């Protein structure tokens, strides 16, 4: 959580006020929504992997994937029933999923994977469309 609070949240932001939202508000939401906490831990693990030696990067990448996978089922359940109480957490987690999808192919441990840049772009586009739908539902 320290890596997320001191560095990772800044990479999700373009301003100090956005950094504070990711550092404080989203962390508070994560205390109530396990899928968001797991998403935060996944993103922080992937962030650590980007600056680690290959063997250590693989360990952090695998840990990040475990957290990411742990977040998926409860997140899907929340998407099926977005409410005013969970819409902020659902939206934050969708942004985290997008960030992980953008960063994962760039990790040293993923350089040898066979997925094409086109496949990665399609996945990111689908995630962006999902985030847009979540935002629309939460605003209605």
Q: Report pLDDT digits (tens) over 18-70.
A: 889 999 999 999 999 999 999 999 999 999 988 888 889 889 999 999 999 99
Chain centroid to CA 44: 9
pLDDT at 118 over 90: no
pLDDT above 80 (res 135): no
The rounded distance, in Å, linking the Cα atoms of 135 and 126 is 14
Identify the band that residue 81 occupies on the pLDDT scale cut at 50, 70 and 90.
confident
Domain boundaries of the chain, sorted by first residue: 2-139
CA-CA distance, 136 to 140, in Å (whole number)?
Answer: 6
0.75 cut: is pTM over it?
yes
pLDDT over 70 percentage in the chain: 74
Token pair, residue 2, equals: 């320290």
């Amino acid at each position: 959580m320290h890596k997320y609070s001191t560095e990772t949240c800044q990479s999700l932001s373009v301003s100090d006020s956005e950094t504070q939202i990711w550092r404080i508000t989203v962390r508070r939401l994560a205390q109530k929504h396990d899928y968001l906490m797991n998403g935060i831990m996944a993103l922080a693990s992937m962030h650590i992997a980007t600056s680690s030696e290959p063997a250590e990067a693989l360990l952090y990448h695998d840990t990040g994937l475990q957290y990411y996978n742990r977040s998926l089922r409860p997140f899907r359940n929340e998407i099926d029933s977005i409410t005013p109480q969970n819409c902020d957490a659902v939206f934050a987690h969708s942004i985290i999923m997008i960030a992980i999808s953008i960063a994962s192919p760039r990790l040293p441990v993923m350089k040898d994977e066979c997925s094409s840049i086109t496949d990665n772009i399609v996945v990111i586009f689908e995630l962006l469309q999902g985030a847009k739908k979540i935002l629309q539902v939460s605003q209605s």
